[in-house]
Amino acid sequence: MTQPSVFNDEVIGLGTWHMGESRSAAPLEVGAVLHALQHGVRVIDTAEMYADGGAERIVGQALKAFGAQRREQVCIVTKVLPMHATRDGTIAACEASLRRLGTDYVDLFLLHWEGNVPYERTLEGFAALRERGLIRAWGVSNFDLPELATWCATEQRLGLARCASNQVYYSLLSRGPEFDLLPAMAAQRMPLMAYTPLGSGELAQDARLAAIAQPLGLTAAQLALAWTVRSGGVIAIPKSSTPQRIDDNLAAASVTLDADTLARIDALYPPPQRKRPLAMI
Ligand SMILES: NC(=O)c1ccc[n+]([C@@H]2O[C@H](COP(=O)([O-])OP(=O)(O)OC[C@H]3O[C@@H](n4cnc5c(N)ncnc54)[C@H](OP(=O)(O)O)[C@@H]3O)[C@@H](O)[C@H]2O)c1
């Protein structure tokens, strides 16, 4: 499946939740994001919510060190909180994110999760931001299939551009999206951003996964990430503040898993047999 241009065919990015929470960890975190950029990670996920803007500041410092002339090589994704997602609130939130990120535009601006604001109002804000060149594309997060269908129908009714992605919890510990959301998004050629793809680190420590991974020359984390992006149309955004792990995670982008390996993984973490409400962290 073809990825739309916003991710430029990347399948592994970098998450930043919990970065920017402590002053003492900030230099290490800026260094980690800069390391990621210098070693080929091209999609960085952040949000106004993370450390109350602190994670965006970490990303901003790393982007500055990476070099303003290289900004276009990077896809920056950030998110507006539902409580801010009125037309004017969305615009103000984006402008504040841009100040913290130290950049003129974000590549993808997501509604973090559904709140009480009608979709029309948020979309008016997104459209105004896109008109001004402050965002390249917009999307949603934590939307299950009915909400996504309504959102897309609203865009169509208003004659607006289409939602570029839906970011949801998708990992071996949360295979629910495979039942209907992922196939429906694939049919529309809309990429799914898989958050918490390592189960907050739990899958990296999974001895049963490690036993499958080791003969393949992989770590358990790499196996979990390669599995997450196996079908195409998915970009995983593992978070790490550790340079070696960032490199290992990115290397999973070039791993192809054979049918036997996928069957062994299915035996450990079975695919969904029925619809369940979308899990959210
Ligand atoms: N849209 C949403 O509602 C939503 C919700 C949750 C998350 N997200 C996004 O998704 C990103 C990823 O999710 P997440 O941060 O919740 O969890 P995650 O990426 O599944 O796991 C992160 C944890 O795994 C560890 N880790 C990373 N790579 C590893 C490796 N190769 N080996 C061993 N441990 C490793 C990290 O530790 P170190 O940092 O110490 O290396 C960290 O503790 C977030 O950062 C955020 O950007 C979005």
Which pLDDT value is given to residue 108? Answer: 98
C-alpha of residue 264 to centroid of ligand 1, in Å: 24
Pocket test for ligand 1, best of 108, 172, 196, 249 (most atoms within 8 A of CB): 196
Contact of 26 with 58, CB cutoff 8 Å:
yes
Q: What's the gap in Å between 239 CA and the centre of ligand 1?
A: 3
222 lines ligand 1 (CB under 6 A): no
Contact 43, 164 (CB under 8 A): no
- For ligand 1, whether the C-beta of 165 sits within 6 Å is no
> What's the pLDDT score for residue 5?
73
From the centroid of its chain, how far is CA 112?
A: 11
Which pLDDT score, from 0 to 100, does residue 2 have? Answer: 41
Ligand 1 pocket residue status of 248, Cβ below 6 Å: yes
**Residue 98, Cβ neighbours under 10 Å: how many?**
21
Q: Is the pLDDT of residue 219 over 50?
A: yes
Which H helix or E strand runs over 234?
strand 234-236
Please, which residues bridge with residue 139 across strands? 110
Helices (H) and strands (E) in the chain, counts: 10, 8
Confidence category of residue 30, pLDDT binned at 50, 70, 90: very high
pLDDT digits (tens, 9 = 90+) for 68-103: 999 999 999 999 999 999 999 999 999 999 999 999
Regarding the beta carbon of 242 and ligand 1, being less than 6 Å apart is answered: yes
Mean pLDDT of the chain: 97
Written as six digits, the tokens of 269 are: 């973490």
Q: Is the dihedral of CA 51, 52, 56, 58 positive or negative?
A: negative
Q: What percent of the chain has pLDDT over 90?
A: 98
